């Protein structure tokens, strides 16, 4: 009984950490979200809100995450 009282906060903290990681993964590798981000990035570049170097760097990162998400999706099928 006492053991459970002491480990309860640790288990709760672990559960919270797992939930946060799940939410982060879901946002970082969500295909529709990444597609939207790519479109918005392109629009920002076309409107002159960001320079070409910034555009290319951010596009590269978004495409890397998109590729990971797509591969993950295919592995689930």
Residue 60, pLDDT score? 98
Q: How many residues does the chain have?
A: 77
Bigger pLDDT: 21 or 66? 66
The answer to whether the CB of 69 falls within 8 A of the CB of 34 is: yes
Q: State pTM to two decimals.
A: 0.67
**If residue 21 lies in a helix (H) or strand (E), which one and from where to where?**
helix 2-28
Both ends of the chain: CA-CA distance in Å? 44
pLDDT in tens, 29-77: 789 999 999 999 999 999 999 999 999 999 999 999 999 998 887 777 6
Name the DSSP letter for residue 75: H
Chain Cα centroid distance, residue 72: 13
Which two tokens mark 44? 């920002």
Band of residue 17 on the pLDDT scale cut at 50, 70, 90: confident
Q: Where are the domains of the chain?
A: 2-76
Whether pLDDT at 26 is above 70: yes
């Amino acid at each position: 009984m006492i053991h459970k009282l002491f480990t309860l906060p640790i288990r709760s903290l672990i559960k919270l950490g797992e939930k946060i990681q799940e939410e982060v993964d879901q946002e970082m590798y969500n295909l529709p979200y990444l597609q939207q981000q790519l479109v918005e990035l392109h629009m920002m570049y076309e409107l002159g809100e960001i320079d070409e170097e910034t555009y290319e760097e951010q596009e590269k990162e978004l495409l890397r995450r998109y590729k990971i998400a797509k591969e993950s999706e295919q592995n689930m099928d």
